């Protein structure tokens, strides 16, 4: 079982949108609700994930999917 960062997809969203974060060979990638791709640092990913985990924004859900390729 592969447990490295590149085997996970992080989904953050509400009932109206979902953003995806995943890691490729170069670094982290954010896919916006409209499908646009942006490069992100690990700190930027944490800045989006931590408020959702802390419950600061009550209607935001976070889901992590594992993919063994």
- pLDDT digits over 10-35, tens only? 999 999 999 999 999 999 999 999 99
The count of residues in the chain is 69
Per-residue confidence (pLDDT) for residue 57, from 0 to 100: 83
Strand, helix or coil for residue 42: helix
DSSP 49: H
Distance, CA of 63 to CA of 35 (rounded, Å): 18
Distance, CA of 55 to CA of 37 (rounded, Å): 26
Per-residue confidence (pLDDT) for residue 29, from 0 to 100: 97
Domain limits of the chain? Answer: 5-66
Give the number of other CB atoms < 10 A from CB of residue 21.
20
DSSP 44: H
């Amino acid at each position: 079982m592969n447990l490295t960062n590149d085997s996970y997809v992080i989904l953050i969203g509400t009932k109206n949108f979902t953003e995806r974060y995943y890691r490729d060979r170069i670094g982290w990638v954010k896919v916006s609700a409209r499908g646009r791709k942006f490069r992100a640092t690990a700190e930027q990913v944490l800045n989006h994930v931590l408020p959702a985990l802390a419950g600061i924004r009550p209607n935001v859900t976070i889901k992590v999917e594992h993919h063994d390729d």
